[in-house]
C-alpha cells in the first residue's frame, strides 16, 4: 500500500543528502518525481537510483536562487508529467562557518539567495499552480536551526528561522484553498553537507565534530537522511490532511531540552 500513488512530486536539492532520500522515498510511495539540483551529476545519480528501484523520476537542473530557472523548473515539471501535486523545497547550503562579527557580506547574500529566496521563489511558483486547482501539499526543509541558534552559523540560523516564517505565512493564506504547507526541522543529519562542514571545522579529524553532533541529541547519534525522507513523505501524503502551518521537528530530541 503506497501513500502517494499517482502523484507528481518535485524535490529540490535532490542530488544528495536529505533531498535524494526524500525523492527516493516519495518514489517508493508511488509518486513520479522531478529531481532537481544545481549539481547535474548528483541529480542524475538520484534519478538512476529511483529508476533502478523501479520508480519514475526525471531530472531538471535548476539554481533555485534564479527566478527564471525556478519558473522553468515548474513549467518543465508540468511539461514532463502534466501536474504538480507535492513539492519538497529542500535545496540549501550551510554557508560560512564563522562568528557573526566575521561573517562575510557575500557569504551572507549567497545563503540568503539560496536558503530563503530559493524557497520563496519555489513556493510562489508552486502556489501559482496549486491554488487555482484547490489542492496540493508543500514541505520546506527548515532545521532545528530554525528554532534555536548555534554558534558560527548566523546565516544558516537566520535563513532557517525565515523558512519557518515563510511556511506559516504561506499556510495561513493557502489553507482555505486546500493547499497544505509545512516545514520539517531536521536535527544533525549525516549528509554530505554536514560531513564537509566537519572536515572544514576539524581538518583531518572530523570525528571530533561528529562526537559533538552525536551528543547534541538525547538519542545519542546523528540522524540518517532516510529518517527525514520518511517524515517528508508522511507530511506530503493524505495521512497528514489536518496538518498545515506546522514545523515538524525530527531531531532525536535535540530541541526537547
Partner 1 sequence: MKLEGKIAVVTGATGGMGSLACRTFCENGAVVIGADIDQEAGEKLEAELTGDGYDFRFVPVDVTSGDSVRRLAATVKDRHGHLDVLYNNAGVVLGKHVLDTTEEDWDRVHDVVAKGTFLMTRELAGLMPDGSSIVNVASAGGIAGQAGMSAYCSAKGAVVLFTKTCAIDLAPRIRVNAICPGAIDTQMPRNFVATMPDEMAKAVWDDLANGHLVGRFGRPEEVVSVGLFLASDDASFMTGAAVVVDGGWTAK
Out of 120, 156, 210, 254, which one is annotated catalytic?
A: 156
Does residue 123 come out as left (phi exceeding 0), alpha (psi in the -120 to 50 range) or beta? Answer: alpha
- Least Å distance, CB 33 to partner 1, is 19
Quote the least distance from Cβ 161 to partner 1, whole Å.
15
Closest to partner 1 by CB, 159 vs 174, is 174
Instruction: Decide: 125 and 147 in contact? Cβ < 8 Å.
Output: no
**Are the C-beta atoms of 167 and 182 separated by less than 8 Å?**
yes
For partner 1, the closer of residues 80 and 224 by Cβ is 224
Residues that bind partner 1 (CB under 8 A): 168, 171-172, 175-176, 187, 189, 217-221, 223-224, 227-228, 230-231, 234, 239-246, 248-257
Identity of the residue, 68 or 211, whose beta carbon is nearer to partner 1 in the bound complex = 211
Rounded Cα–Cα distance for residues 248 and 244 (Å): 10
Say if CB 134 and CB 175 are below 8 A apart: no
Residue 213 beta carbon to partner 1: minimum distance, rounded to whole angstroms: 13
Does the annotation count 156 as an active-site position?
A: yes
E-only strand ranges, 22-111: 32-37, 56-61, 86-89
Q: Is residue 207 classed as helix, strand or coil in its secondary structure? A: helix
Active centre residues (catalytic): 156
Amino acid at each position: 500500500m503506497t501513500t502517494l500513488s499517482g502523484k507528481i512530486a518535485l524535490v529540490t536539492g535532490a542530488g544528495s543528502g536529505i533531498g535524494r532520500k526524500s525523492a527516493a522515498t516519495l518514489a517508493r510511495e508511488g509518486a513520479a518525481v522531478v529531481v532537481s539540483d544545481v549539481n547535474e551529476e548528483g541529480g542524475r545519480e538520484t534519478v538512476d537510483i529511483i529508476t533502478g528501484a523501479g520508480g519514475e523520476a526525471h531530472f531538471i537542473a535548476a539554481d533555485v536562487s534564479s527566478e527564471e530557472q525556478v519558473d522553468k523548473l515548474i513549467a518543465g515539471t508540468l511539461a514532463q508529467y502534466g501536474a504538480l501535486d507535492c513539492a519538497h523545497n529542500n535545496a540549501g547550503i550551510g554557508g560560512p562557518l564563522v562568528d557573526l562579527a566575521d561573517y562575510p557580506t557575500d557569504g551572507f547574500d549567497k545563503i540568503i539567495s539560496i536558503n530563503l529566496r530559493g524557497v520563496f521563489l519555489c513556493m510562489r511558483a508552486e502556489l501559482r499552480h496549486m491554488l487555482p486547482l484547490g489542492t496540493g501539499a508543500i514541505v520546506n526543509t527548515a532545521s532545528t536551526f530554525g528554532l534555536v541558534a548555534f554558534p558560527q552559523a548566523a546565516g544558516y540560523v537566520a535563513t532557517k528561522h525565515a523558512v519557518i516564517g515563510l511556511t506559516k505565512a504561506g499556510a495561513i493564506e493557502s489553507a482555505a484553498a486546500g493547499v497544505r504547507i509545512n516545514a520539517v526541522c531536521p536535527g544533525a543529519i549525516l549528509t554530505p553537507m554536514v560531513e564537509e562542514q566537519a572536515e572544514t571545522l576539524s581538518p583531518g579529524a572530523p570525528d571530533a565534530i561528529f562526537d559533538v553532533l552525536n551528543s547534541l541529541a538525547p538519542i545519542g547519534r546523528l540522524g540518517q537522511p532516510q529518517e527525514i525522507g520518511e517524515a517528508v513523505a508522511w507530511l506530503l501524503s493524505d495521512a497528514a490532511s489536518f496538518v498545515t502551518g506546522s514545523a515538524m521537528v525530527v531531531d532525536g530530541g535535540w530541541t526537547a531540552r
